[in-house]
Amino acid sequence: MSGFVGVVVSDPSLQGQFTQVELRSLKAKFVSLKRDSGHVTTKNLPGLMKKLRGLNEVVSEEEIAAFLSESYPDSDQEIEFESFLREYLNLQARVSAKNGGAAAGAGKTSFLKSTITTLLHNLNQAEKSSYVAHINTYLRDDPFLKKYLPIDPSGNQLFDLIRDGVLLCKLINVAVPGTIDERAINKKRVLNPWERNENHTLCLNSAKAIGCTVVNIGTQDLVEGRIQLLADLNLKKTPQLVELFDDSRDIDEVLSLSPEKMLLKWMNHHLKKAGYKKTVNNFSSDVKDGEAYAYLLKALAPEHSPEATLDTKDPNERAKLVLEQAEKLDCKRYLTPKDITEGSANLNLAFVAQIFQHRNGLTSDIKQVTLTQTATRDDVLLSREERAFRMWINSLGVESYVNNVFEDVRNGWVLLEVLDKVSPGSVNWKLASKPPIKLPFRKLENCNQVVKIGKQLKFSLVNLAGNDIVQGNKKLIVALLWQLMRFNILQLLNKLRYHAQGSEGKEITDADILKWANNKVKASGRTSQMESFKDKSLSNGLFFLELLSAVQPRVVNWKVVTKGEEDDEKKLNATYIISVARKLGCSVFLLPEDIIEVNQKMILTLTASIMYWSLQKQPQSLSEMPEQSEASSMTSDAASDIASEDAASTTAPSEGEEVNSLSDSVSILTMDDATSNAPPAENGNGVAGS
């Protein structure tokens, strides 16, 4: 029920001019100005625009005001966000023309940007070549793709190969194996637009589920290799990383570090031991002279590190020697000496991550590191739920990026951002403190406001106080996040019914979702039913496959479905359900284990996601919604098992709210024209490969 993640504007051509990182930054600045001034006009906008990239120190506020007055002669006329974006682009173009096209880096983007993985456009040739090398290396033996590889980086073969979506899906599985069930990928020799669109939708929803942020979908979108390169930079995958920290560091604080920060910590750890006097704080200016690399390789692989590397005074020669040494460690050459000396942050990050993968130089003695060996079942469940909530929060398009829920929410700011997304206008930002927050009482103030808003939304927060969030009480944080997610889901469903029927009517409840799913399956001629969201019979997956087939008959290939009697069969069905749901257009964040073990929270979100997709694509299905009577309240059905835990309630949509705010939704991501206009293919064609 989430759209294209992040800040979404109504004009796709306008959205295509910006990366998601840029849009978020511009949106934050615009909202801040509007919050401080009440509204944005040509009177207060020039001061903001003067500070923007491409305009700073190039054009004066007076010139910006004169430019804006051409489009807005009334200085009191309010300017909306999309109009602001257009004026920014127009002003950039005018400045660029005035300066002979030398506007400061306009339009240039990168594919390993910020602390998130993003689908971006306009790769420069060096990054394109590096990315092609990544594909050629990791997919060269793939049974389906090997006939198309290796790709020539100098031509457009990469973009041609991406068109059917298979390569994108394969790359997701390279990054996090098993994310996509390949039976759900359409792999015919020639795919129709409908089938290509399904592959793209499957890829994009799966990308979100492993922590990617996607932006401005099109045939030239890429999923880069950052997730895979940094996959081992955490204590669960590489517990030896604990030796980088002293005993005073709280383990949750260590777990919350982003992969990039962990990589810098690891690099500086070895540089200090090797006698390097400086601290590396970034992968651009701090490494462009090659000295840090020379010391790092000397510490990790002294047998491949001649003194000449350190003795040479020429940065280009040193960079060349560094790459030669790295190749002896089997590091693939994804960058050139020029990329090092020019400080290409993206490629240098990938280079250091490769060195870490091949030789991290950490102790093999992990007697003191037992983070996962002693985990209880509750710990495992909490870990899975933390992952689901983390991916959900990051999919909402909030400005902050969450690496570890239990640590990152403790200052209250992220939770306030989430509340502002799911209940716009509920947060009093004048009383909130933005990170970094040094004073503990400021964190408590943020968290107290979170609890206050939660109670206003009728969440069940009897045992939760602001200090519990500050202290990182995991179970109480999970309980709060679950109510936030559920509130958002029900709110979105209520909006659909509200706008379709033209009246508020009864609010949709957990019981309504349960009844809708059962009615949908029954109407398709099948007999499966679920008694509640914790019905143990759901573990075989057959009910959800029948539900998916009921809302879109062609999406399930029954030839690959198992009976779900043995554990292995249940796992196959569960992975297939998740991939088929994502292929259909549902953005879900649960794992196969959540279906097999019937995690009622995740089962509810899966069902609601399918329901939302169905109602949005087939508005007539609203008539199939069971009318809620007094007897079907949230205390009547088996669905009340969840509702009674949190006693959450939803609010009717306020007048003027949009039905489907793509950046605010929880779990629907669909492609535009092909999904809505293309005729359905023959039943079974290309559903799971042929």
Q: pLDDT of 74-107, one tens digit each?
A: 888 888 888 888 888 888 777 765 554 433 333 3
User: Two tokens at 367?
Assistant: 């007697």
Cα dihedral 103, 104, 107, 108 sign: positive
Read off the pLDDT band of 236 (50, 70, 90).
low
Which of the pair, 375 or 412, is modelled with greater confidence? 412
Token readout for 330 is 């089997």
pLDDT of residue 657: 36
Q: What is the mean pLDDT of residues 519-530?
A: 94
pLDDT surpasses 80 at 599:
yes
Distance of CA 577 to the CA centre of its chain: 20
Is the pLDDT reported for residue 226 higher than 60? no
Look at 116-120, 265-269, 364-368, 433-437 and tell me which has the smallest mean pLDDT: 116-120
pLDDT in tens, 554-568: 899 999 999 999 999
Task: Give the per-residue pLDDT at 157.
Answer: 83
CA–chain centroid gap for 19, Å, is 14
Least confident of 56-60, 510-514, 519-523: 56-60
Model pLDDT, residue 482: 95
- Tell me: the pLDDT tens digits for 118-165? 333 345 677 778 778 888 888 999 999 988 899 988 877 887 788 888
The residues, ordered by sequence, that sit 6+ positions from 84 with a Cβ below 8 Å of its Cβ are 26, 30, 40, 45
Q: At how many degrees (to 10) do helices 193-209 and 567-584 cross?
A: 110
Listed range (144-148, 237-241, 434-438) with the worst mean pLDDT: 237-241
What pLDDT is attached to residue 34?
85
pLDDT for 453-487, tens place per residue? 999 999 999 889 999 999 999 999 999 999 999 99
Contacts of 667 (CB under 8 A, 6+ apart): 1, 2, 489, 586, 587, 588, 589, 605, 608, 609, 612
What pLDDT is attached to residue 11? Answer: 63
**What pLDDT does residue 120 have?**
35
DSSP code for 451: H
Q: Rounded to 5 degrees, what are φ and ψ at 55?
A: -115, -25
Residue type, 300: L
**Regarding predicted confidence, which is higher, 368 or 404?**
404
Q: Are strands 117-118 and 212-213 parallel, antiparallel or unpaired?
A: parallel
Contact 392, 409 (CB under 8 A): no
- Is the pLDDT higher at 623 or at 539? 539
**What average pLDDT does range 195-219 have in this prediction?**
72
- Angle of helix 193-209 versus helix 377-395 axis, rounded to 10: 120
Q: For residues 536 and 598, give the distance between their C-alpha atoms in angstroms, rounded to a whole number.
A: 6
pLDDT tier for residue 378 given thresholds of 50, 70 and 90: low
Q: Could you tell me how many residues make up the chain?
A: 690
> What is the pLDDT at residue 16?
65
pTM score of the predicted model = 0.64
Q: Inform me whether the pLDDT recorded for 683 exceeds 50.
A: no
Least confident of 86-95, 202-211, 400-409, 563-572: 86-95
Identify the residue with better confidence: 374 or 425.
Answer: 425
Lowest-pLDDT choice from 33-42, 278-287, 493-502, 592-601: 493-502
Beta carbons within 8 Å of 602's beta carbon, 6+ residues apart: 385, 388, 589, 590, 591, 594, 595
Lowest mean pLDDT among 240-244, 291-295, 338-342, 540-544: 240-244
Gap between the Cα atoms of 310 and 670, Å rounded: 53
The percent of residues in the chain predicted with pLDDT above 90, rounded, is 32
DSSP state of 303: G
Model confidence band, residue 332 (pLDDT cutoffs 50, 70, 90): low
Residue 507 or residue 285, greater confidence: 285
Q: Which residue has the higher pLDDT, 650 or 276?
A: 276
Q: How confident is the model at residue 214 (pLDDT cuts 50, 70, 90)?
A: low
DSSP 110-148: -SS-TTSEE--S---HHHHHHHHHHHHHHHTT-TTTTTT
Phi, psi of 213 (to 5 degrees): -115, 130
Higher pLDDT, 224 or 558: 558
The pLDDT, as a whole number, for residue 78 is 84
Band (336; pLDDT cuts 50, 70, 90): confident
User: Of 492 and 643, which is predicted with more confidence?
Assistant: 492
Reading phi first (left if > 0) and then psi (alpha if -120 to 50, else beta), residue 686 is in left
Q: Reply yes or no on whether the pLDDT at 649 is more than 50.
A: no
What per-residue confidence (pLDDT) applies to 81? Answer: 86
Query: Does 376 score more than 70 pLDDT?
Result: no
pLDDT digits (tens, 9 = 90+) for 184-198: 999 887 887 778 878
pLDDT at 296: 93
- Comparing 11-20, 518-527, 666-675, the range with the smallest average pLDDT is 666-675
The pLDDT confidence band at residue 254, using thresholds 50, 70 and 90, is low
Q: Is 586 helix (H, G, I), strand (E, B) or coil?
A: strand
